[in-house]
Amino acid sequence: MCQLNDKHPMNQDNLGMHADHSQHLSHDMDHMATNQMPMDHMDMHGDMGDMDMGGGHMMHMGNLKRKFWVSLILTIPIVLLSPMMGMRLPFQLTFPGSDWVVALIGTLLFFYGGAPFFSGAKAEIAQKKPAMMTLITMGVGVAYIYSLYAVIANDLFQVTPVVTDFFWELATLIDIMLLGHWIEMNTVMNAGSAVDSLGKLLPQTAHVLGAGGQVTDLNLADLQVGQVVAVRAGEQVPADAQILTGHSDINESLVTGESRAVAKTVGDTVIGGSVNGTGTFTAKVTGTGDSGYLAQVMDLIQNAKQSKSKSENLANRVAGYLFYAALFVGILAFIIWVTLTSLPVALPVAVAVFVIACPHALGLAVPLVVARSTALAAQNGLLIRNRDAMEQVNHLKFALMDKTGTLTQGHFTVNHLVSLDQQHDDQAILQLMANLESGSSHPLATGILTAAKAAGVTVTAAEDPHQVTGMGQFGTIAGTEYGLVAVNYLDQHHLAYDHDQFAAYASEGNSISFLVANQQVLGLVAQGDQIKPAAKQLVTALKRQGITPVMLTGDNQETAEKVAHAVGITDVQARLLPEDKERLVQHYQAKGKVLFIGDGVNDAPSLARADIGMAIGSGTDVALESADIILVASDPADVIQFLDLARATNRKMTQNLWWGAGYNLIAIPLAAGVLAPIGFILDPMVGAVVMSLSTIIVAINVMTLRVKRPA
């Protein structure tokens, strides 16, 4: 292509700023509108209607809700007939055989309500990784077996003293755990409802223009690429398209999180699902299918919930430690108490240790936060592809970023066009450049094509167009091979050019490309770009957070330094090839954690190499494959928004882990009887109450997570 900058030298089929990148943005919106995805088809991906109950066991939302209510109904007679903590309350009843009735109902409740926990525990044990579900199963399992023993011992053998059963605790424990998971699923669904609304607001039909100009309302599922649609004032754009006639202001806030309307005119692309303003326009559909923006959001949420981040793995490890600790302490306490006292005294103590160790809130601590933050991020134009990246934020030392499209607008205009060959005047040079760039929609190419159109130049595509990575665009015109290259190419091939002229144009902040043929420099074009308003804000905020900003660009040194100086960056690396950037990422990683901000195409190796890879702009396959985070609106301010959200998410995770597991550190020893010499032993029901309170606190704490958009 015409300039070696941080975007240009790539295969043009994969350009990050590709004009038809938006075809990736409408596919899933159409798909979801067709399938009534948001509410009617919520189980389609299993991410909103299903819940991971541990060990990969998934439970459907309707099943869990039904299990809770059935279990609650079964609990009522148990509460009325069974003693609480060995004491019968005034409203409780007793009659001959009531213990057996309680045992029968308790058995039904145990196997019905406890089924999801048993399945999860089975999977965890099969993987030799006992965690949350194993702990829960141990707690309710021990309570059930001990209670059966109590009924048999009391009613068949009439032992003295009477053995206290734990059916009351068993029933309420199962109810609390089922309720907690139901709360979790409701929280996840509520957090995702803003994302679902994108699909709900899609129109069901599109106004398709026929060959004779007639308008036909076509079902969105039948819309095809290449068809022309009419979009009237106030309507939703049915699919990604390119405007052919008319103009309007488009509200893309539902898609990008950007609240202001965006002016669109002929040649601009519009995103399916965005809301048209007061204008009307016709547009050619550029994309339909199932790979659009909303699908990416839904898939990202699904993947985020199914994959295990480091914090979740830590939570599972903590649960595993608690399992072994409870097992060890419970057995040890049993041995000590049975040695010092008797079996009837030792068994309740061991049961207490096992029952209160159930880490229900611990199981909710991280999934709730992640689901909430992922949905909030998607709602605000931040697609989190790799959740582990959020955990790296607190350790970031460097923020490496490219220039064009990241710090600058990426909208180039031709400031200087100079013929350096007597056989070609300026217009002929412009025409040759435009012919080479006719198949590209890169910002630099767009600037040349716009200038050619304004000058009335006829553009004909060059034959055999191809790129040389890091060098430029080449093609054959009238039997002669031409190249539109960067200054690196001239230096490497020892081609003569006016260094003073180059320096003068570059000092103005221009990106400069040279037209070459037959080892001769025929002309040059100098194009200027505008710095994004939020670029300086980004750099300032990074410095304030102790993160060193670094510019890595393929553009010339003079232009890079001018932009860097304007935004406040002092560390500038220019004239870089893609492999140079990746090498520099590794260089900075030796000093600390690295965030790399690029377009996800030419910067793909660096995005993949960095501790956090952040793609500016969305819709390209390379971006989705390489980046951890995708900024849909391409706004530098969203980088700070992501950092703030990530830190808030990490804080919530830490808080919830403490709420979910911290009480076990105290409750287990108390239940084992460490304070027995002073007359205090923690009862299982007290432990269950504390556990339920921690669960509620965790759920409430998650809902306080918010996204603060920068001013």
Asked whether the predicted pLDDT for residue 75 surpasses 90, the reply is yes
Note whether 437 and 357 are same-domain residues.
Answer: no
Residue 402 appears among annotated catalytic residues:
yes
Q: Is residue 267 part of a domain?
A: no
> From CA 398, how far away is CA 588, in angstroms rounded?
7
Residues 43, 60: contact at Cβ < 8 Å? yes
- Determine, yes or no, domain membership for 177: yes
β-pair partners for 208:
216, 229
Q: Who wins on pLDDT, 2 or 558?
A: 558
Are both 73 and 189 inside the same structural domain? yes
pLDDT at 260 over 70: no
The CATH number that applies at residue 597 is: 3.40.50.1000
- Are 363 and 456 contained in the same domain? no
Q: Are residues 183 and 321 in the same domain?
A: yes
Distance CA 549, CA 540 (A): 9
Q: Among 55-64, 175-184, 301-310, 484-493, name the one with the lowest average pLDDT.
A: 301-310
For 156, counting Cβ atoms within 10 Å of its Cβ (0-12 exposed, 13-18 middle, 19+ buried), the class is exposed
Q: Do 332 and 478 lie in a common domain?
A: no
Same domain, 306 and 176: yes
534 pLDDT band (50/70/90 cuts)? confident
Over 50: is that where the pLDDT of 632 sits?
Answer: yes
Annotated catalytic residue within 52, 402, 529, 635: 402
Same domain, 60 and 175: yes
Domain limits at 477? 413-528
Whether residue 392 is predicted with pLDDT greater than 70 in this model: the reply is: yes
Highest mean pLDDT: which range of 150-164, 314-328, 532-546, 594-608? 532-546
Does residue 176 lie within any of the structural domains?
yes
Is residue 86 pLDDT above 60, yes or no? no
Specify if 515 maps to a domain: yes
> Residues 331-359: pLDDT tens digits?
998 999 999 888 778 887 888 788 777 65
- pLDDT per residue over 572-622, tens digit each? 998 887 778 888 999 999 999 999 998 745 677 788 888 998 887 643 454
Two tokens at 420? 């350096």
What b/e string do you get for 119-137 counting C-beta neighbours within 10 Å, with b at 16 or more? bbbbbbeeeeebbbbbbbb
Please give the Cα distance from 319 to 365 (Å, whole number).
Answer: 12
Work out how many domains the chain is built from and give that number: 3
**Mean pLDDT on 267-290:** 81
Residues 466 and 598 placed together within one structural domain of the fold: no
Query: For position 29, what pLDDT does the model report?
Result: 32
Beta strands in 190-234 (DSSP E): 205-209, 215-219, 228-231
- Whether residues 484 and 611 share a domain: the answer is no
* 320 belongs to a structural domain: yes
Q: How is residue 435 annotated by DSSP?
A: H
Burial of 536 (0-12, 13-18, 19+ CB in 10 A): middle
Please say if the pLDDT value at position 172 is more than 90: no
Together in a domain, 427 and 574: no
In a domain, 472, yes or no: yes
Top pLDDT among 645 and 92 is at: 645
Same domain (yes/no): 358, 391: no
Give the whole-number percent of the chain exceeding pLDDT 90: 26
Average pLDDT of the residues of the chain: 77
Least confident of 172-181, 194-203, 309-318, 676-685: 194-203
Q: Does pLDDT of 300 surpass 60?
A: no
Q: Across residues 70-82, what is the average pLDDT? A: 92
Number of helices and strands in the chain (H, E):
22, 24
> Who has greater pLDDT, 574 or 680?
574
Q: How far apart are CA 502 and CA 524, in angstroms?
A: 9
Tell me: the pLDDT tens digits for 634-658? Answer: 788 889 989 999 999 889 888 887 8
SS3 for 305-374 is HHCCCHHHHHHHHHHHHHHHHHHHHHHHHHHHHHHHCCHHHHHHHHHHHHHHCCCHHHHHHHHHHHHHHH
Please check whether residue 216 lies inside any domain of the structure. no
CA distance linking residue 606 with residue 140, whole number of Å:
50
The verdict on 653 and 591 lying in the same domain is no
pLDDT of residue 185: 63
Please report, to the nearest 10 degrees, the dihedral formed by the alpha carbons of residues 459, 461, 465, 467 taken in order.
Answer: 30
Residue 75 located in a structural domain: yes
CATH of the domain at 445: 3.40.1110.10
Quote the pLDDT of residue 389: 80
